[in-house]
Structures are given as C-alpha cells and as structure tokens.
Structure 1
Amino acid sequence: MGLLSRMYLLQFILLIVTTSMNFSPVWGQELIDHEQTLKEIIKVNNYFMEKYSDYKAPSNVGRERPSNIWTRGVYYEGLMALYSILPEEKLYDYAYQWSDFHKWGFRSGTTTRNADNYCAGQTYIDLYRLSKDPKYIRKVKANLDMLVNTPQKDDWTWIDAIQMGMPVFAKYGATMNDAKYFDKMWDMYACSRNDIGGGLYNKEDGLWWRDADFVPPYKEPNGEDCYWSRGNGWVYAALVRVLSEIPKDEKHYKDYVSDFMSMTKALVKCQRKDGFWNASLHDAENYGGKEVTGTSLFVYGMAWGINNGFLSKEKYMPVVAKAWNAIVKDAIHENGFLGYVQGTGKEPKDGQPVKYDSMPDFEDYGIGCFLLGGVEVYKLQESK
C-alpha cells in the first residue's frame, strides 16, 4: 500500500472514531450484568425485610398508622414482582402474613373512597391468583363494587391516586373477567385526566400536574409548569400495570397506550446526563439532584415498554441502561439501604434534602418503586 493510500486509510479511521465519540454517551451504555441486577434487588429487599421483620408494627411517622397504608402497599407491589422471578417461600410468607394480619382489608374499611387505602388490594389479588381462596379478595370486591355502584367519579383528585387505585380495578376486572370494573376505572381516570382542575394531564407536554393546586397559573421558579417527578412516575407505573392486565380489545386500551407513549417521549427529554431524573422535571434548579423514586418508576415503565413491544429497544434501551446503572452505582449502600429517596409530599420541595445518606420519612414505598424497576430490567436482560 502506498503512502498516500495509507494516509487516506488513517484519515478514514480517524473520521469513524471521531464521529463515534460525538454521539451522546447514553447510546454507548450497556446494562450491568443481569446477575448483578438480581443481586442488587435482593440486597435492597433483604435490608427492608430484616429491618421491618415485624409486618404487624404500625407506622409511627408523625402519628400511628396501620402497616397496610399506601406506602407499605407500594412496597408489597414490588415484593410480589420480585416473587414472580424469585419464588422463594420467605417472600411469599412475608406478603401472606402481612395480608392475613390485616384480614385482607383496608384502612377505613370497605367503604373507603380514598385510593391510598385500597392500594393494598393489588397484593391481595396477586396472592388470590396463587391460591384461589375467596377470602383474600372478598373485601376487595366489596370496596370496588361500592365504587362501581355509586355515581361519583372524581375521587382521584391527585395523580398519585391513579397508581394506588387504578391497578386494583384492572387486576380485579381481569381476574373476574368483568368489564364493569374496567369501565369505572376509565371514568375515574378520565375525570382526573380531563376534568379535575381543568384536567391534570397536559397533552402538549405529555406530563401531569400533581393536583389542581399546580395547574397554571402556578409556575416553577424558572417559569415552567410544575411537573413533579414521582407524581408522573405514579401515573406512568399505573399505565403499565393496567396495560399488563386488560385485554387488547378493551374499549380504552388504545387510549392508555397513547398516554403511555406520549409520557415516554416527554420523560426521555427530561433525563439528566447522569441517568437520574430531577424531582422537578422542567426545573433542574428547583431542588435539583439525583432522585430514586421517580427514576425507578420511569425505568419500570420504559423497560416494560421494551419487553412488551411498545418501545424500540434500539432507542430506549440506552435510556433504561443509563438510569438503572446510575441507581445501582450511586444510590445503593453496602447494607442495602437506598439513598436519594425523596420523602413523602406532593412537590419538589417536600421530603428534602434528598441525599445519598438521607433517611426519608418512609422507606417502604421507595424500595417498592426500586423493586418494580429492577425486576422489569431483569426481565429485559433475560430476554436479551
């Protein structure tokens, strides 16, 4: 090969290398090994089960509450997801004993309209599917029938309630093969989406205001709309859990898919360079920083979307990998404690400061979000 030819070859190689380096680093991300993913999930869950081994103990944050409140209900959603890939007896027993202690019921009984209270029903239904014991879902049925048979549809006035309540309808309707639960679920979802506060879903941005207090003219310090990360994560997770249950010919299936896809596109635009999402999706300076709960729920949704053919693996796998790798690398302590979890609240300023070693007021829901995301990533790796 002549000197001139070698020079052209070297220039061509240099061009390829340079071009590759100019791509965003996200596209070069590879998920950590699936065995490590499972190891990290187990480590975090073991931390929780050991620390909160007494499932009967009430919560004493501010005041005493029973342990079947929404925060614990979200944890058990994650635990049942883990059980689906790791069917160990101790996991089943922990969920069963908690459910049985609470007599398969809800805080405030079967007449409650507050979705936070009947969130626990998701786990009761999961356990019923394993045993078919009717006592597991008798109170779930009573509560849902009350909601179905009364005209109110404006109960979900805050978007967190969509995740706490909507999957209970979807799971029960699918279990009983009864569309009336799907119909009521849509009526309540559509009311939150389109009516409450003038509609809590902003179709233009593909994101949700947390409740009527945050719709315009409310603005973040930078002048943008206030889109709280975990609040949007709740809706995103709810859509995943509903689409996992209802049949494809259900009358509003395509509407849920449309919202899921719009949210996905909006969320990708908000991802931080380090893989996390800020507590405030459109204002990185308003309590900006790493935050695990919203990030975990977005990982959950996007990994599920890839696993189920809604999202392109080529386009969205790097987004998931960047986020999941960041959680594993930056948030998990050696003993399984999960850092960067925003405490309870309803907006970016609540539950602050959010740091690597800061303790949230409740640990359970953050770990539940993490388990949901981690299990879906594990499934993604297994399919790979």
Structure 2
Amino acid sequence: MKRNKIALISSILCSVFFIIGCATTSKISNTTNSSINKDEVLAVLRTTNNYFMNKWPDTGKPIYTNRWRPSNIWTRGVYYEGLMALYKIDKDKRYYDYAVDWGENHKWGLRNGTTTRNADDQACGQTYLDLYEIDPKPERIKDIKANIDYVIKSGKYDDWTWIDAIQMAMPVFAKLGVMYKDDTYFDYMYKMYAHSKNVEGGGLYNKADKLWWRDKDFVPPYKEPNGEDCYWSRGNGWVVAALVRVLDLIPETEKHRAEYLQDYKELMEGLLACQREDGFWNVSLHDPTNFGGRETSGTALFVYGMAWGINNGLLDAKTYRPSMERAWNAMFKEAIHPSGFLGYLQGTGKEPKDGQPVSFASVPDFEDYGLGCFLLAGSEVYKLLDKKL
C-alpha cells in the first residue's frame, strides 16, 4: 500500500514536471520563433505593388508635381529596383513586362542623355542592367554603359556631392564591373565614393556617430534644434541601400570590399542606436523634436539593410533581428492603407522639414520611390523567412 502511494506521488510529480517543462519549452519557442509570417509579407508586397501598377498603367507617362518630369527619373528608378527585387521572389510575368515596357517607353535612355553626370539620371540604369541580364538585347545596355564610360573617361570624380547619389549611381558601376569583368568600374566608383565619404564638405561620414550627413550644408557647425548633428533618415537609408547592393554584386576579392563592409556594419550600428520604441525611425535620427514621428521610407531602407545582413551572415541575428522585425511589423501594421497606398512617407527633399507634415493620410509629391524602398525591404525579409531562398 505504502509502495502504491509512493508510486502515485511519483507519477503526479512527473506529470507536474512534464507540464511545467512543456510550458517552459512553449514559452521559449514562442520567443524565438519569428513574429513575421512570410505569406503575409508576400501578400502585402503584392497589394502595395498592385496599387501602384493599377494607378500607373502607362509606364511612359510623365510625372507632374510642380512641373512635368519624365518617368525615368530617380524616383521611378528606385521603384523599379524594388519591383525587380519582388520579381526575384515572385515570378509574376506582369512585373517583368511592366519593367520592360518602362525601358522601351524611354528607349532605354537617361533623362539628360549619355553625357549626364547627374546620379539621379543614372538610377534607371540599375533596372536596365537587370533586364539586360535576363534578355541581353544591346539597346538595354547601350546608353547606360556609354554614360558611365563617359564619366570615367572624364577623370572627374567629385559628382556625388549628396549622399543620395551614392545609391543612385554606385550600383551601376558595380554591375558593369561584374558584367564586363573590368576593375576599371570598381576603381572609379571607389574614387567617387571616397570623395563623398572623406573629402566633400570635409567628409560626409561621421565615424564617431557612425552616420552620414546628407551634404556639406549639414556638416557642423550646423545643428538640429536639440543641439545634435543633423542626420537625415532617408539619406542614410540611401547609403545603406548602396552598400548592400554593391556588396551583393562585387567579388570577394575586390580591393575595397573590406572598407565597404566595415562602413556598412558601422552604419548598421549607428542606426540600431536610434530606432524609435514603436519600430520606426524619425526623419531626424538624432532629434525626435524636429518633425519627429513615424517615417516609412527611411525605415524600409534600414529593414532592407538589416535583413540582407542577417541573410548573408554579416550581422548578428540576435542583435539585429528583433530590431528588424519590430520595424517591419510597425510598417505592416501602421503604414499600409487597405488600398495598398503607403502612409507616413516623407516627400522628396533633403532634410527633416521637407515634405511635412508626414502622417498616415498624407500624400507625398512622389509615391514611387517609397514603394520601391518598401519592396526592397519586404523582398529581403521574405528571403529570411523562406528557407528555400
């Protein structure tokens, strides 16, 4: 009888320990599993992109804000970068056809021709070159290659006087270098990058804060209202995108790769330190009092950089994944209209005050580049969640 009581007590204790163990395991599992669902990520990318494609069925139609602009300018170029990223994870022929139609409507040309030095004119080349790789028709590469060759031949390398330009043009040089197996493109893009980083305005990169000033107008003694340096969110996002896209392209043996990688990692550290509690970043990274509030385009570019770094084993997932997931969930839950329109998107400009006020319902002067940033981010997040990719 005594033995039966001992056995019963032992059995009960085992059951209790088992239940506690299961509960603990379940709790651990819930904290380590991703809070992002890959099907929801793909669904929202399709929704936001369909909204835009339906709104702009004519890919050659000029864009009107305060004046008419051709639709192969940088804002639309960034959208197509995002569309091509989406196409890599979601092989919908509509995306490819839409991009090809855009190139054909502009005769695969640049806004100011093959002698332009403006990086904003060269941004379209990123998609032209992607499409050339899929179907190597010579007209797709002719003008963009002629333009970059013209820039190199000039010997002038101080064109990137604002950090947005690094994203618009640098990946074009990188891609041509890879396609033609020609280090000339790599060497020249480094000269241009190094000028922006170390020379322009005394150097636009601040190693102390691990962030970039937008252009020489914002290098100290310029200060924000709270006394901090002015680091514009989307401007730093453009540098993130440039470094990600270049590192994704250039070979491991490229002589300046280590510097690009170091700059990328430092920038990620600088950004991690100033994320808002709600997951977004402010337009002014070090001054939440200067037009503070949620902003989607910078946040999306930072998510893009973090997800890519985790995917490629370059960022510590334990450190960066919670920040990335918080940011993605913030955009997913707070910024997307049922129609697919993106809210909290700052319009074009160069500093926190531009394009204000930014709200859920505010409409920026251009809708395209913000969506491009969001598609880049979401496509990389999807890769992280899809083990096949």
- What is the TM-score with the length of structure 1 in the denominator? 0.93
Greater shift in the superposed pair: 31-40 or 225-234 = 31-40
From 98, 102, 105, the counterpart of 2:106: 102
Match in the other structure for 1:294: 298
Question: What does the per-residue CA deviation read over 1:20-73, in whole Å, with 9 as the maximum and x for residues that have no partner?
Answer: 9xxxxxx87833210000000000000000001111110111111100000000
Match in the other structure for 1:34: 38
Match in the other structure for 1:121: 125
Q: Is 2:271 aligned against 1:267? A: yes
CA–CA distance in 2 between the matches of 1:355 and 1:75? 21
From 70, 77, 82, the counterpart of 1:78: 82
Q: Match of 1:319, as an amino acid?
A: S
Q: Is 2:229 aligned against 1:225? A: yes
Match in the other structure for 1:239: 243
Match in the other structure for 2:68: 64
Q: Match of 2:208, as an amino acid?
A: E
For 1:137, what is the secondary structure of its paired residue?
A: helix
From 344, 348, 352, the counterpart of 2:348: 344
Match in the other structure for 1:23: none
For the 8 Å contact 1:224–1:282, the answer to whether it is kept is yes
Match in the other structure for 1:205: 209
For 1:258, what is the secondary structure of its paired residue?
A: helix
CA–CA distance in 1 between the matches of 2:323 and 2:243? 19
Moved over 3 A (4+): 27-31
Q: Match of 2:90, as an amino acid?
A: L
Q: Match of 1:259, as an amino acid?
A: D
Match in the other structure for 2:159: 155
For the 8 Å contact 1:29–1:322, the answer to whether it is kept is no
Question: What does the per-residue CA deviation read over 1:318-355, in whole Å, with 9 as the maximum and x for residues that have no partner?
Answer: 11100001100000011100000000000011011110
CA–CA distance in 1 between the matches of 2:215 and 2:317? 33
- What is the TM-score with the length of structure 2 in the denominator? 0.92
Match in the other structure for 1:333: 337
CA–CA distance in 2 between the matches of 1:186 and 1:29? 40
For 1:247, what is the secondary structure of its paired residue?
A: coil
CA–CA distance in 2 between the matches of 1:209 and 1:169? 23
CA gap 1:90/1:253 in 2 versus in 1, 3 angstroms? same
Q: Match of 1:172, as an amino acid?
A: L
Match in the other structure for 1:254: 258
Match in the other structure for 1:354: 358
For 2:68, what is the secondary structure of its paired residue?
A: coil
Q: Match of 1:57, as an amino acid?
A: K
CA–CA distance in 2 between the matches of 1:354 and 1:30? 30
Cα shift at 1:177: 1.2
Match in the other structure for 2:198: 194
For 1:183, what is the secondary structure of its paired residue?
A: helix
CA–CA distance in 2 between the matches of 1:226 and 1:28? 36
Q: Is 2:24 aligned against 1:45? A: no
For the 8 Å contact 1:156–1:162, the answer to whether it is kept is yes
Match in the other structure for 1:377: 381
Q: Match of 1:324, as an amino acid?
A: W
Q: Is 2:326 aligned against 1:322? A: yes
CA–CA distance in 2 between the matches of 1:356 and 1:35? 24
Question: What does the per-residue CA deviation read over 1:78-115, in whole Å, with 9 as the maximum and x for residues that have no partner?
Answer: 00000111111111110000001101110000000000
Q: Match of 2:111, as an amino acid?
A: R
Structure 2 unaligned segments of length 5 or more: list them.
1-5
Match in the other structure for 2:220: 216
For the 8 Å contact 1:163–1:235, the answer to whether it is kept is yes
Match in the other structure for 2:141: 137
For 1:109, what is the secondary structure of its paired residue?
A: coil
CA–CA distance in 1 between the matches of 2:179 and 2:312? 20
Match in the other structure for 2:3: none
Match in the other structure for 2:177: 173
CA–CA distance in 1 between the matches of 2:125 and 2:379? 20
CA–CA distance in 1 between the matches of 2:173 and 2:88? 21
Match in the other structure for 2:369: 365
Aligned residues between the structures: 368
CA–CA distance in 2 between the matches of 1:86 and 1:381? 14
Cα shift at 1:176: 1.4
CA–CA distance in 1 between the matches of 2:316 and 2:240? 17
Identical-pair percentage: 61
